[in-house]
Structure 1
Amino acid sequence: MVREIKTNSRMRDCWDALNFVCCFEFWRMAVFWTLALVRSYLELSSRAFFYRIPHFYPRCSPPTLTSISETKAPTRPLCIITGATSGLGAASAHALSREGFYVVLAGRSSHLLSKTVEEIKKQDADAHLKAFQVDLSCFQSIINFKNAFERWLSNSNMHPSVQVLINNAGIFATSCRFTSEGYDQMMGTNYIGAFALTNLLLPLLRSSPVPSRIVNVTSFTHQCVSCTQVDEETLVGKYFSRSKQYRCAHIYEYSKFCLLLFSYELHRQLYLNDESHKVSVLYVFLNAVDPGFVETNIMREVPSYLSQLALMVIRLLGLLQSPENGVESIVDATLAPPEASGEYFFGGRGRTVNSSELSYDPELAEKLWTSSYKLFMKSQLVSKDVS
């Protein structure tokens, strides 16, 4: 009986893998994504070889903050990491707690959050950690997280501000699913949720007594995007749903492209264009991060035979990284000096490269901001009605 169940399970896995191989999305991932990854590494190598001057930023020490209570010792800077239950998010929490941050872990699973906190505590008993459950694809959940976080912060002895926000949460879905707001779940999690959370936490980032920073974790797959539509219908996924087959690769690329375009636009607004902000308060610096191909569970919805084959091929090319190695770019961007704002970190050791030409289009970025903000305001109104 057990043998029969295992046989049926294997046959089902083989059939799923065969169906996935026959769709265009698989070949787009297999060919385009591999070429995009190789291109990024080639640019990294060419910069060092042709220019002779590697473009990198050294890491700075995390700043210390004065406690609200004058009798207390200085407190640690506070860092929020989304998607902190596994993979790069968990690795970032490990790394930045060692650097001296008070790390707030945000993720969908309370069980996995507790497990991550326990693992970090085993390695470092002095780590300062706090976990909050949040689903980035649900605006009401983001609002609840923001309110719970502010209550916790007001009851602590820390400064009522945030020093670092790392938008790391992301999913890769192979089937069409919609959020409670009617958004494609992949777009909601990978981009719209990050946009909403950043805007909700921006007052806390701007009130920091030391320069604060936003780090958006994007992907080399953004290079495959040629679509210049950034209207509301496209952002919520309706444009892609016109196809009979779920365009999982296209939507993932597009979500990461939007996150990158948003990064550059926010950098322009906060760091370059806002002269009054430069005079009145400290800067909010913003960087984008591309960790490369990291061995995480993000491809868990891809048939196991194919995901294992992909990992084997990338490993043979020497481009596969563990989360512990892949997180280096995130730490680089977090601890980069103040002049490193609006950069695209890739390859570790503080190195940066150029993202796609389309991602630097300021007019497209402004249109994206306008469309995203309209969705953000609509979500706020719906949230108030529900409350």
Structure 2
Amino acid sequence: MAASSALSTIKVVMLDIEGTVCPISFVKDVLFPYALDALPGTLESKWDSPEFAPYRDAFPAEYASSPSAFADHVRDLASRDVKVAYLKSLQGYLWETGYRNGEIKAPLFPDVAPQLASWAAAGIPVMIYSSGSVPAQKLLFAHTDGRPADLTPLITDYFDTVNAGPKTQAASYAAIAARYPAHPREGGWLFLSDNVAEVEAAARAGMQSFVVQRPGNAPLPEGVEARHTVTMSSASFDRSTTGTEVARVFKDHIKGKRVLITGASPNSLGEATALAIARSQPALLILASRTRSKLDAVASRLVADGLLPSASVRTVELDLCSQASVRAAAAAVAGLTPRLDVLINNAGINTQHRRLSPEGVEATFATNHVGPFLLTTLLLPLLRAAAADAAAVAPGETRIVNVSSDGHRLVPMRFSDYNLEGKAALPDELPRSKALPDWFTKGGKGYSGVLAYNMSKTAAVLLTVGLKQRLRAQGIQSFAANPGTIRTPLMRDIQPELRDSIETLHAGEWKSPDQGCAPFLVAAFDPSLSGSDEVYVQQDCQLRRPSAHAADVDKAERLWVLSEALTGAGQGASRL
């Protein structure tokens, strides 16, 4: 589910069901067929019973005259997906047997049960508003696959089209809110649904309302993302959320995992990521960075703070600018663990001076893309080993996270001059804004560190696209994540003009390292993303579309081939 910085005003949360808290397929492929299968036996054994009489008599008289007429009408309504109150009431009655004998369990999206508990702990009432009948809603939430299975103690009230009205009319939402005058409707209520018309009706009634896009939902109509907040993850997450908070929500999906974080040094995003993960008992946390003393400082803090025993923290020296160092580091990691559940490619540089790697690649591109590409491909056997263990992880819970930024939106990948030697860029490789200052595109001696950095962040998204294309079918998911604007040691070597521009542009929007790493942890551990086709987690911890030039599959393939050539990894690596 979802988020916005305005969520601090929320006093009540109201949820749709199918496509929001559970897959649409559950209702269509499980519940509806179950009711049709159970109907003949029910009619034969209970047609004249007082227990069944209220459901029979609610049908129009011509269909309640005989079991055969009744059954034919039910099948006709179901085939046409007609939503009428008397049919929904009957379905709830038929489902009750299946729920109570264990034949039916509601498969909630993995983030739902923890989120309901989080809202309850915060004193925020949770209500349900679904086209399904209230009795059916209560059955669903009383018999889930969550922990605990019965979530009804976490839900304050239930509404359907009978006691509230049609879900696409604003008056229905106003009527619901009127029952709780202590909670003002304007801005105090949040409604979440996969149905755009319902979201718009709630908004007209004065509620905050977000569109929920879950795996298995139909693609959203064009223009929806421009008009509405579209959310896919936990509804309590926004740009102010901390990594510590995300780790607490997904602690069950962190516990026992083996995780590698690059760029772990004091006061960095890497350290904040390690601290957040360590609180949820990973089996092994491997920290990789250039400087041994800085690595040791972070590892010592984890142990000294009592977050992890020393046996669960390991360090590996890694200079991503040097391919020899990358290969040595990958071998060291393979010596520490036979499997790797999560790789977070966090390390990077941002410099205003052009220099080359030992292999002759421009240093920013080498460190921020070529090195992570090589490290990832070398560690794939460990990632595959984790993904293949179906008893330990679900498909898609093995993850690769590449740290990017919204700077990727400004600069396409410059294939004609990836080494930034001053060659003329092709028209489709030029910066996307004509209003950019000269220091952005030119820099000292024809080199722009800003352009180099942002191009490397475009490469991070393209790498993610390439990895997803190759590995998703093997149970390995890949996401790029944008931390937002954070004061870390990375800021110290950027151009003064850029530093001044960032200070002005993002005044009042600076995030702490713990807030900055929150999108990384969503990308790495949110189970609701396991089946996602998307590639980019924004700084508010929600999936967003990256720029078209960074999501282009053909450009991702072109970058993959270039990266293989630069690393000598081309011997079949493109067929990963």
TM-score between both structures, scaled by the size of structure 2: 0.49
Taking the TM superposition and a 5 Å limit, the aligned residue runs for 1:78-93 are 78-86=258-266, 87-93=268-274
Higher relative contact order (CA 8 A, sep 6+): 1
* 1:202 and 2:380 matched: yes
One-letter amino acid of the structure 1 residue matched with residue 277 of structure 2:
L
Taking the TM superposition and a 5 Å limit, the aligned residue runs for 1:1-387 are 50-51=227-228, 54-57=231-234, 60-63=250-253, 76-86=256-266, 87-101=268-282, 102-127=284-309, 128-153=312-337, 160-208=338-386, 209=389, 210=393, 211-227=397-413, 229-230=414-415, 234-238=417-421, 244-271=445-472, 274=473, 277=474, 283-302=475-494, 309-310=500-501, 312-314=503-505, 316=507, 318-337=508-527, 338-340=530-532, 342-348=534-540, 350-377=541-568
Higher helix residue share: 1
TM superposition shift of 1:315: 5.2
One-letter amino acid of the structure 1 residue matched with residue 324 of structure 2:
Q
RMSD, aligned CA: 2.8
Contact 1:57–1:340 (Cα < 8 Å) also in 2: no
Name the CA shift for 1:240/1:132 in 2 (closer, same or farther; >3 Å).
farther
TM superposition shift of 1:370: 1.1
For residues 94-138 of structure 1, the C-alpha deviation after alignment (integer angstroms, 9 at most, x for no partner) is 111112222100000101111111222232343531111110010
Name the CA shift for 1:130/1:122 in 2 (closer, same or farther; >3 Å).
same
Q: Counterpart of 1:225 in 2: which secondary structure?
A: coil
Distance in 1 separating the partners of 2:524 and 2:322: 26
Name the CA shift for 1:378/1:331 in 2 (closer, same or farther; >3 Å).
closer
Name the CA shift for 1:307/1:372 in 2 (closer, same or farther; >3 Å).
closer
For residues 178-220 of structure 1, the C-alpha deviation after alignment (integer angstroms, 9 at most, x for no partner) is 1110111111100000100000001110111234110000011
Contact 2:278–2:308 (Cα < 8 Å) also in 1: no
Name the CA shift for 1:336/1:125 in 2 (closer, same or farther; >3 Å).
closer
One-letter amino acid of the structure 2 residue matched with residue 166 of structure 1:
I
TM superposition shift of 1:224: 0.5
Name the CA shift for 1:184/1:49 in 2 (closer, same or farther; >3 Å).
closer
Contact 2:534–2:545 (Cα < 8 Å) also in 1: no
Where in structure 1 are there 5+ consecutive unaligned residues?
A: 1-43, 65-74, 154-159, 278-282, 381-387
Question: In the comparison of the two structures, how many residue pairs are matched?
Answer: 305
Contact 2:403–2:480 (Cα < 8 Å) also in 1: yes
Distance in 1 separating the partners of 2:330 and 2:302: 24
One-letter amino acid of the structure 1 residue matched with residue 449 of structure 2:
C
One-letter amino acid of the structure 1 residue matched with residue 293 of structure 2:
H
One-letter amino acid of the structure 2 residue matched with residue 364 of structure 1:
K
Where in structure 2 are there 5+ consecutive unaligned residues?
A: 1-210, 212-222, 236-248, 426-441, 572-576
TM-score between both structures, scaled by the size of structure 1: 0.72
TM superposition shift of 1:378: 6.5
- Cross-structure match for 1:5: none
Distance in 2 separating the partners of 1:49 and 1:237: 35
TM superposition shift of 1:141: 0.4
Q: Counterpart of 1:174 in 2: which secondary structure?
A: coil
Name the CA shift for 1:329/1:108 in 2 (closer, same or farther; >3 Å).
same
One-letter amino acid of the structure 1 residue matched with residue 275 of structure 2:
H
